[in-house]
Chains A and B, each alone.
Chain A
């Protein structure tokens, strides 16, 4: 059973890149283009790891993470924050919200998979 990864990013380019890299590594991929859609996907599907962007319309990454962490079903799912943010403040905010780890864009596929492995049992 391959792991299921939910990717949440408003950029289609980024979603496609993640899809490509993750499928290549044998993951099953779910996609959402903002936090709200991400929560919708999680209503009836489960993910082993979530990768989310921070800057998104409607519901940003911080809000999305907080919601997931409040949800009994998904609260233990590792969440990796995928962001170009270069300031530590955002990273800490994401962690306060409940992010498990982070990946800085641009990412290398190997490093992406590596980061996933580092948070998933």
Chain B
């Protein structure tokens, strides 16, 4: 059941996305394709259907009201004016909230739901309050109050245990042709009746015409059934539920009061009364008409006659076949069916055991899922990914061994190896593509956010999204949602001006936020751009000074000022608004992007707006790194953190109290971090003159120089979790296996830089290396 729940909620997400994009499309007026409205309706309808199965009543109730309005739209009775669309979009948001609460728990904003329900009810013209009852009654209406019959399917042994007790019913059952054409079977109905008690059935074959006159799709048989049962009459009727209108049915409980059972509505009742009254004159004609009135044109005879209009099925036509219409479709049924309890019970049991036998063997083959996509457990993909990682490493090792063996490039080994390398790369890309998903899944959450923030800030905002189909690793997408949400909030709350200010500045009243994704040199680049006022640099500066983040007289470029907003503890909003100021600032955004191996940058022009650019790796499984040597160990430093590498000149490095050292670079003093010492690979400080300094950007945008002994080169490495295979090691992000089979640790730049501020990271990295 849990996995079903999971499927349900997954599907809800998809339906909600469909719902929203459909509504937005209708709003934009870019298409009048009726299929969009249908899809929107189906989305809500599906959610309602599934929710019903899980007894999520709030959800069902709201979805029902929502669906009623959408049905009006679908039928063209309600036009999608701006107001209507606004209400529908809001309702989609409420529906989404209800789904979330149903999944994750928590509380819903009852008032909001009520308001929304009322608005919807006003649109559909059905009072909101009565809605629930109406829905419930509706279910009853349809009849399937589903089977109050105490008819346990497989173990009905106690049924009709006392053949002498109960009531003796006389049931007269005359099927119409439509009963057969809809694939109902008198035999099945008789079998069902026999489950209620002791049955004696007599088949009346007197109406069967001569062979040459038989209409193969007619109905000529009728039955008189004696049933002794303790069940109520309702139970008997429920057996005939599906053929209601497709037969003539009378049930007499022996009290002498004959009751016409099947036809439920008055119209049919009246027609049948006429049938009874006029039976001598034209029995078939009236029967046919009665049938028709209930089931419509299709019920008369074969399905091929579906096109026949009711008017053409008139008495005159029917009278041409003076006898009630067709043949004995079930030879087995043409004789009296009599069944004793014992016999029936026996067969019931046989059926039961057969039905209850688990069909495990054909479970798999049974499911013909006629779809173009398959759902695969993420674990399986990850396992495959892992294996491909091993393959890449293995291939690299093999290459290295062969080149060490001095084989010529033209040898067959070498060509074979080249092909192997190419195939390995293809497989790797193929597997990575499985994990890749379009950013659409996160982009499509943004319209709602924009609506809410716009409403809360009284601004008018248009969101434009581009490159939604750009693909990136699933995990990256998942972890992108929060930073993006925050940045879009910021763009509207801090970036865009109030409508009146915009108008005064000669801009459109409606602000524009553009969210776009593109692939650029093996990375995904996401831009969040607004056409607002741009970053207010003097103000940013003042705030940074007030908060002691910079010295009052610091010389900063525009870019450096812009980057101040990424500093921890910086918040531009003078009053913390509900929208952006949730205790997290841009520093958190920056950190979460960096945790994904990405970078954030800003460009801003006063009066014209700001653009935040995120650059992220396409996958978290491989990484481009600089392979370096530190104290005879090989480490990998992620290339994304490295700004430049430099060879320190002896005079550039200065002591700075205690062990700390700084390196002077273009008139700036940058902390020099001795990686070997930080990780505990050696106790003595390395001589900067013998090594190489990697200028890195770390947490909070600060720069540091990492001192390493030598650079071996740059390469793509497969990331292996150290935590999963060994344990967490401060200063180390993960590990990888190099071509020569050696394990190399991947440096956690931020942790090393932070560690250098507070002291050594300890001996754990040494232990990890030894392990």
Contact = CB atoms under 8 A, between A and B. Distances in A.
A78 B180 CA distance: 10
Nearest to B246: A95
Nearest to B46: A11
A114 B142 contact: no
Interface string B694-731: 00000000000000000000000000000000000000
Interface of A: 2, 10-14, 16-17, 19-20, 23, 25-33, 37, 40-41, 45, 55-57, 66, 69-70, 75-79, 84-88, 91-93, 95-108, 110-111, 113-115, 117-121
A77 B152 CA distance: 25
A28 B366 contact: yes
B contact face: mostly helix, strand, loop, or mixed: helix
Contacts of A37: 370
Given A10-B46, A13-B4, A105 B52 contact: yes
Contacts of B96: none
A103 B4 contact: no
Contacts of B137: 86
13 contacts: A2-B355, A2-B359, A2-B362, A16-B4, A26-B359, A27-B359, A30-B367, A33-B371, A69-B303, A96-B296, A104-B146, A108-B146, A115-B144
Contacts of A117: 153, 188, 192
A15 to B, nearest CB: 9
B186 to A, nearest CB: 10
A14 B146 contact: no
B296 A92 contact: yes
Contact of B370 (A33, A56, A91, A96): A33
Interface stretch (B37-45, B105-113, B415-423, B448-456): B37-45
A79 B151 CA distance: 22
A27 B147 CA distance: 21
Contacts, number: 195
A115 B7 CA distance: 25
Contacts of A66: 298, 303, 306
Contact of A96 (B39, B189, B297): B297
B183 A13 contact: no
B356 A25 contact: yes
Interface string B337-363: 000000000000000001111110011
Contact of A12 (B11, B42, B147): B11
Interface in B575-620: none
A79 B183 contact: yes
B366 A29 contact: yes
A2 B4 CA distance: 24
Residue among A31, A113, A118 with the most chain B CB within 10 A? A118
Given A10-B46, A92-B296, A103-B144, A98 B370 contact: no
Contacts of B54: 106
Contact of A111 (B41, B146, B183): B146
Interface residues of B, number: 71
A114 B146 CA distance: 10
Contacts of A20: 4
A68 B742 CA distance: 65
A25 B141 CA distance: 28
B138 interface: yes
Given A30-B368, A106-B53, A113-B153, A91 B142 contact: yes
A31 to B, nearest CB: 6
B356 A26 contact: yes
A31 B7 contact: no
Given A12-B7, A13-B8, A106 B188 contact: no
Given A95-B299, A96-B295, A106 B138 contact: no
Nearest to A102: B144
Nearest to A78: B183
Interface stretch (B237-245, B487-495, B512-520): B237-245
B188 A70 contact: no
A14 B50 contact: yes
A45 B365 CA distance: 13
Interface in B1-22: 3-4, 7-8, 10-11
Contacts of B295: 92, 95-96
A79 B183 CA distance: 7
A118 B192 contact: yes
A120 B366 CA distance: 20
Given A28-B362, A41-B370, A97 B298 contact: yes
Given A25-B355, A96-B306, A98-B181, 8 more contacts: A13-B46, A25-B153, A57-B39, A75-B303, A78-B185, A86-B137, A95-B245, A96-B295
Contact of A2 (B55, B138, B183, B354): B354
Contacts of B245: 95
Contact of A86 (B135, B303, B363): B135
Given A26-B358, A78-B184, A55 B41 contact: yes
Contacts of A98: 181-183, 298, 303
A116 B406 CA distance: 74
Nearest to B153: A113
A2 B359 CA distance: 8
B7 A13 contact: yes
Given A14-B53, A87-B138, A114-B153, A19 B367 contact: yes
Nearest to A103: B144
